[in-house]
Structure 1
Amino acid sequence: MNTDTATAVFESLASGLRLEVYRLLVRKAPDGLVAGDIATALDVPPTNLSFHFKALTRAGLITVTPEGRYQRYRANIPLMLDTIAYLTESCCADQPEKCIELRAAAGQR
């Protein structure tokens, strides 16, 4: 991953609603959801979502597949994992065991 790709990912997630859409689609992976189900789950009018879907799609975070008259949205899990790897690739001066210690200290697994 390069800086431009990472920046596009973070910019697209800078909206609270887009972040919630993406997190919902991650939970529903790999099947994804149709737009109406996303709107219902997040209690958002479907017309408000198209702008956000476009931003997430442009960044590559979600894919869309036509299913008859519906659109099915899915999280791009490989891109999410690449982004996490990009953020942590040089963690703790390339001493990953220190990262494990830091996560434990923060109460994370």
Structure 2
Amino acid sequence: METLDAIEIFASLAQETRLEAFRLLVRHAPDGLPAGDIARALQVPHNTMSSHLASLTRADLVEAERQSRSIIYRAKLQTVQALAGYLLKDCCGGREEICEPLIADLQSCCGENRPQSRKQQ
């Protein structure tokens, strides 16, 4: 990831509605949500939500797929992974003991606190 890409991502997320929309899509990954459901959940007019989703799409944080009359938006978790990698690339000058708690905290969000997927059950 390049610095300008990271800046564009942060700029897109530096607005309350877009940040909440992205977090909502992360909670609904990998299935995503129709644009109308996102607008209703966040109590935002549909046309306003469309502008916010377009900004998130330009920043490569979400992708859209037309399904019949709906547009389904999904969080692009690989972009979040690339951003985290960019931010932590030179973590703490290579001193593992400093980075370890940060990495463990990132792992905990997807570890034992999450329900098991059907494959794991």
Q: TM-score, normalised by structure 1?
A: 0.89
Helix, strand or coil at the partner of 1:60: coil
Is 1:55 the counterpart of 2:55? The answer is yes
How far residue 50 of structure 1 moved from its aligned partner, in angstroms, is 1.0
Please give the alpha-carbon distance, in whole angstroms, between the structure 1 residues aligned to 2:2 and 2:48: 31
Q: What residue number does 2:8 align with?
A: 8
Output one character per residue of 1:24-78: Cα deviation in whole Å (capped at 9) or x when no partner.
Answer: 0001000000011111211222121011011101111000000111100000000
Output one character per residue of 1:67-107: Cα deviation in whole Å (capped at 9) or x when no partner.
Answer: 11110000000000110111111111122321225x4xxxx
Percent identity over paired residues: 44
The gaps in structure 1 that reach 5 residues or longer are none
Moved over 6 A (4+): none
The gaps in structure 2 that reach 5 residues or longer are 109-121
Matches within 5 A, 1:14-93: 14-93=14-93
CA RMSD of aligned residues (A): 1.6
Q: Which has the higher contact order (CA 8 A, sep 6+)?
A: 1
